[in-house]
Amino acid sequence: MNRNRYWLLLPYLRPHWRPIAVALFWTLVFTAAWPIMAQLAGQLLNLLVQGDLPALVRLSSVLTGVFLIHKIAQYGQDSQMAQAALSIAMDLRNRVYAHLQSLSLNYFEQAQTGDLSYRLTEDIDRIGEVIYKLFHDATPCVLQLIVVFGYMIYLNWQLTLASLVVAPLMGVLITWFGDQLLIFSRRSQNLVSDLSSLLTEVFSGIRLVQAFAAEDYEIERFRQESERNRQAKYATAWLKAVQFPVVGFLQLLSVLLLLLLGGWQIASGNLTGEKFGSYVVAALMLIDPIAHLTDNYNEFKQGQASVDRIFELLQIQPIVVEQPDAVPMPSVTGKVEYQNVSFSYHADQPVLRQLNLLAHPGEAIALVGASGAGKTTLVNLLPRFYDPQSGQILIDGINVRTVTLSSLRRQIGIVPQETVLFSGTIAQNIAFGQKEFDLKAVQAAAEIANAHQFISQFSQGYQTWVGERGANLSGGQRQRIAIARAVLLDPRILILDEATSALDSESEALVQEALERLMHNRTVFIIAHRLATVRRADRILVIEQGQVVEAGTHPELLAKGDRYARFYAQQFAQ
């Protein structure tokens, strides 16, 4: 694993150099105050011994002023770094989210939603905390150690060097503990992602869980995942619990050694009592930054696991990409050609084989065939959710690979079997993808989709809030909103992917009527298991093993008495 992953964050720090620079300025002021306060503390101790009250009062005033400057500088560095760290985390989160939006459909078919959510939230928050601590805590502590240690050498270099006997052992232990924490943290964060994915999966399918009375099964599965998560977190906490007493004991040995050596230096006449007082205060000033750096080192190691997980995402590349010279697709009439198209998800399992197809503008083509024959794959290639391994797809004679993805997909409307609605108003869902929209146009689209009537019955009409996945709407209502969405897009090419297969007869009639309005004067590809939709198609294609094996109208294919007739008898006969 790359140990320099933190360097990958540098591009995200550069835009925020101003608050970071201001914070570092205040850090220097904050650090410079430490040796001054140590020197003043030593003088105070000497004045206490002498009983010089007036001088003690004057020196106390000076120390108070220095301490006040010290705390003002601390506020400056903390507030500026909080601003910078939060902005950096936000930029990184936006960058990762934008990158995920650019990935191809195949990635999301394999990725776990809960894991992605965890990386975009918890992992990036942890990175933000690490950046904040780096400048707010670690940098001042390092500078404090350097300045105070330099001051100690200035006071008595022999004593300072002798007191470093324990330092190498302390450094080795801190490094070892940090490496172990990195291992434990990676495991813990992966298990939290698994737990998050399990929750997303179960809550999305709660209807099925209840239908199969599988609550106890899911509770046990969750308990096992929770236990693994607890064990991983406890391993990290246990390691920290061992680390701090060990390091603390070494610090105590250092202080005792310092006192013994200091007494020896004073007895030898190499050190005065006042300087030794300053020296002891300075040494005590090292304990807190060492403890902080130990803790920060642990945080950095744990944060490294988050950095690894985030940049793993950023390194994933889409398999469907625009060509460098891609141009916007002009408005099309809807002529679609598949020329010798072959495609497979896995190299040894072809789905489409040298497929050829010509759809004329305004033609409605129904695709029928057994499950797995390649119907959905065929239509998914048109908006370039995937690219074929060989052959080409043309719209109005333009190869779809030569145009920008957004301009291509705006020409193609999709009404899926399972409508996806997002949290927002009904109007926002109909106008999905449009930052600004005309409400009158939304209403007109809803009327064409047979949705206006039920929408108007809601107290807030088009401003009615749609719950998660549209749970407060019926299946027929959700499907009509999807049709209204396609109407508003006004595409020249339309894909209907089993758009009525999950509806009751009353809802199907309303949806079917809306679909017929939507299909008018458009090139339509229909994947359907309902006879009404298929019979109205201008042409029916029978797909078997990724090839068109039969084509014609409904009466023509029935008259042939071949594959479609058998398929009709098996699937469509009522």
Collect all residues with Cβ–Cβ distance below 8 Å to 492 and sequence separation of at least 6: 331, 332, 333, 334, 361, 411, 522, 523
| Same-domain status, 284 and 370 | no
- Could you tell me if residue 357 is inside a domain? no
pLDDT of residue 2: 46
Q: Residue 383: inside a domain, yes or no?
A: no
More confident call, 357 vs 152: 357
Tell me, yes or no, whether 48 lies in a domain: yes
Is residue 278 domain-shared with residue 223, that is, in the same domain? yes
CATH code of the domain in which 136 resides: 1.20.1560.10
State pTM to two decimals: 0.71
Per-residue pLDDT tens over the stretch 390-443: 999 999 999 999 999 989 988 998 888 777 788 788 898 888 878 788 889 999
Task: Out of 292, 315, 338, pick the residue that ends a domain.
Answer: 315
Residues 311 and 422 placed together within one structural domain of the fold: no
Locate 555 and state its tokens. Answer: 């009466």
Q: 146 lies in a domain?
A: yes
Give the β-pairing of 398-399 and 547-552: unpaired
pLDDT for res 393: 95
For 282, the token pair is 């300075």
Sign of the torsion angle spanned by Cα atoms 421, 424, 428, 432: negative
Strands in 188-335 per DSSP E: none
**Do 199 and 311 contact (CB within 8 A), yes or no?**
no
Q: Which residue has the tokens 């959710």?
A: 385
Shared domain for 213 and 99, answered yes or no, is: yes
Same domain, 292 and 368: no
Q: What is the pLDDT of residue 357?
A: 93
Average pLDDT along the chain: 81
Q: What is the CATH number of the domain that holds 482?
A: 3.40.50.300
Q: How far apart are CA 47 and CA 45, in angstroms?
A: 6
Phi, psi of 540 (to 5 degrees): -115, 130
Q: What is the pLDDT of residue 521?
A: 86
Which range, of 56-65, 73-82, 180-189, 432-441, averages the lowest pLDDT? 180-189
Q: Is residue 324 pLDDT above 70, yes or no?
A: yes
Same domain, 127 and 249: yes
Give the C-alpha separation, 250 to 177, whole Å. Answer: 15
Mark whether 261 and 367 lie in a shared domain: no
The number of residues making up the chain comes to 574
pLDDT, residue 120, reads: 85
Query: Which are the contacts of 319, defined by CB distance < 8 A and separation ≥ 6?
Result: 104, 106, 386, 387
The model's confidence at residue 11, banded by pLDDT at 50, 70 and 90, is confident
The mean per-residue pLDDT over the stretch 444-470 comes to 85
The confidence score (pLDDT) of residue 1 equals: 42
User: Does position 316 have pLDDT exceeding 50, yes or no?
Assistant: yes
**Contact (CB, 8 A) for 522 and 362:** yes
Residue 108 shares a structural domain with residue 216:
yes
Q: pLDDT tens digit string along 206-239?
A: 666 666 677 777 788 778 888 887 887 777 777 7
Domain-located, residue 411: no
Q: How many domains does the chain have?
A: 2
Most confident of 248-252, 295-299, 348-352, 389-393: 389-393
**325 belongs to a structural domain:** no
The parent domain of residue 486 ranges over 362-374+417-572
Q: Domain ends where: 315, 349, 384?
A: 315
Lowest mean pLDDT among 78-82, 150-154, 174-178, 295-299: 174-178
CB-based contacts of 132, cutoff 8 Å, min separation 6:
81, 82, 85, 86
Residues 277 and 367 placed together within one structural domain of the fold:
no
311 and 169, same structural domain? yes
User: Quick check: is 391 in a domain?
Assistant: no
Q: Which has the higher per-residue pLDDT, 24 or 234? A: 24
| Range name among 145-159, 162-176, 260-274, 490-504 with the lowest pLDDT average | 162-176
Q: How far is 384 from 320, CA to CA, in rounded Å?
A: 7
214 and 112 co-located in one domain: yes
Q: Look at residue 79 and tell me whether its pLDDT is greater than 80.
A: yes
Mean pLDDT on 157-164: 69
Could you tell me the two tokens for 325?
């010279």
Residues 209, 275 within the same domain: yes
Helices 505-519 + 439-448 axis angle, to 10 = 120
